[in-house]
């Protein structure tokens, strides 16, 4: 019986470097797989967060519309940073005009929802009002709002929300239509009623 010997690889250039090279290559592959998996999970988490927040915001705006009747927004792009307001003076909170501001039951939320540190926006277009992620938010499809996706009153957000649209990720819309606000006819009636009441 032979005495215990240590089995060592043959000496030489190839045999001396193959083990460390294979180890480093395996480590690089594992790190690459980890980063890819993390990015995929991050993208799906962002889509879930946006979807949850959009549904919550729609519910809040519907409650505000039922309580106070939303008339209109001053600007085509309005940051949603006013839902935690307890009370205010006048008929405007943020840039949202209300028919019955005295019926405000705020705060409607303890904190305004954000994604990637940015507040959501109300986008007023010729086809209605929509809630979208705020500017500088990178969507799960890699597009950045305000850089790759331009939002203004001329854009067709409904088309962008369809599958393969820029405001859609994996079949999930990343914006929602907001069915609130008075019609132009309602606004004119209210303005004339106020005018007649002053005379």
The one-character DSSP state at 172 is: E
Mean pLDDT, all residues of the chain = 84
| pLDDT, greater one: 131 or 11 | 131
Under the banding of pLDDT at 50, 70 and 90, the label for residue 22 is: confident
User: Is there a contact between 81 and 197 (Cβ–Cβ < 8 Å)?
Assistant: no
Q: Cα–Cα distance between 22 and 20 in angstroms, integer?
A: 6
pTM (whole model) above 0.85: no
């Amino acid at each position: 019986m032979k005495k215990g010997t240590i089995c060592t690889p043959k000496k030489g250039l190839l045999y001396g470097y193959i083990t460390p090279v294979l180890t480093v290559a395996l480590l690089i592959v594992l790190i690459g797989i980890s980063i890819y998996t993390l990015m995929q999970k991050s993208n799906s988490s962002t889509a879930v967060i946006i979807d949850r927040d959009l549904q919550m915001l729609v519910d809040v705006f519907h409650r505000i519309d039922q309580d106070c009747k939303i008339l209109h927004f001053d600007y085509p792009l309005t940051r949603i940073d006013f839902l935690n307001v307890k009370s205010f003076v006048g008929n405007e909170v943020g840039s949202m005009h209300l028919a019955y501001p005295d019926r405000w039951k705020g705060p409607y939320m303890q904190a305004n929802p954000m994604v990637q540190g940015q507040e959501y926006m109300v986008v007023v277009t010729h086809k209605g009002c929509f809630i979208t992620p705020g500017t500088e938010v990178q969507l799960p499809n890699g597009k950045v709002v305000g850089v790759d996706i331009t939002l203004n009153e001329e854009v067709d957000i409904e088309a962008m929300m369809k599958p393969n649209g820029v405001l859609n990720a994996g079949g999930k819309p990343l914006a929602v239509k907001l069915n609130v606000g008075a019609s132009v006819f309602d606004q004119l009636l209210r303005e004339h009623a106020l005018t007649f009441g002053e005379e």
